Amino acid sequence: MGTKSWNPPLKLESRYVQHFRLASTGKVLFALGLSVADEGKESAVKLLQVDEITMQCSEVSQMPKQLWSSFTDHFQRGTHPLFVFNHIRCTSAGNLMYVYSVSYFSKMELCVCDIEDGYRWQHLPPFPADLKQLDVRSECCSLQLMPELCLKTPFEQECNSATHLM
């Protein structure tokens, strides 16, 4: 342990994106970022590749507007996009970047971006009705991390072992 050290914090740099969520595929670091538009224009969610040395970001994809709308639709009209983005999380596994809402009032929206297939975005099917009524939602994480930390309830353990989604 004596040979390990922490580097000072680095600042992510992007010209047009102000707010970030980070996720790694194990090979590449990505940032999901919110670009807050000027008045009269729509905000956008962008996927950025991060240079892990310089922390410079370069845009590789933008979430399609209809997918971003699926996250914003359950909020009151006129809600600031940053408030919505505060409820958005992302995680990755292999070549897939999952984006989902942790808002208690959300419809449990979930979409995925296939990083190796030209950054192709898809809306995933809705969760089964019995999952929509859960009072507690846990964060998703990759199996590359400690999987036992992801399994928070016996019900989730049963679901995860049966479907191997995580």
CA angle 78, 134, 111 (to 5 degrees): 55
CA 98 to chain centre: 5
Region 84-113: what's the mean pLDDT?
83
The pTM of this model reads 0.70
105 — pLDDT class (breaks 50, 70, 90) = low
Computed over every residue of the chain, the mean pLDDT equals: 75
Region 59-74: what's the mean pLDDT?
89
Model confidence at 110: pLDDT above 80: yes
Taking CA atoms, 143 is separated from 41, 70, 119, in Å, by 39, 27, 22
93 — pLDDT class (breaks 50, 70, 90) = confident
116: tokens are: 């190796």
